[in-house]
Amino acid sequence: MTSLVLAAVLAAAVSESLLHCLIKGIRDAYAMALLVAILGGIVALPVLAVTGLPAPAAWPWLCASVVLGVTYWLVLGWAYQTGRLNVVFPLSRG
């Protein structure tokens, strides 16, 4: 593994941990998690300008992925609102 790959993996792990701490620290973790899901979609939009729309056969899979992703973030927000960080974080990263 090159140093660049290791640095990228560690940066992703740290940013994911900070994001989870931020969600837990906000009074309304449910709303914050939903906002993260929405912002993730907005950040991904410029990629479409470069790659173009996916093939029509991929649309059902794309829609299912969006539904599952938003559901994950909503459940994560609920979990952080009702549970403790040291329990929810390891389970969510599972």
Tell me the pLDDT of the chain (94 aa) as tens digits.
Answer: 799 999 999 998 898 888 888 888 878 877 877 787 788 888 888 988 888 888 999 999 999 998 998 888 888 888 888 888 888 888 887 7
**39 burial via Cβ count (<10 Å: 0-12, 13-18, 19+):** exposed
DSSP label at 27?
S
What are the C-alpha distances in Å from 87 to residues 68, 74, 82? Answer: 22, 17, 11
What's the pLDDT score for residue 74?
A: 82
pTM over 0.85: no
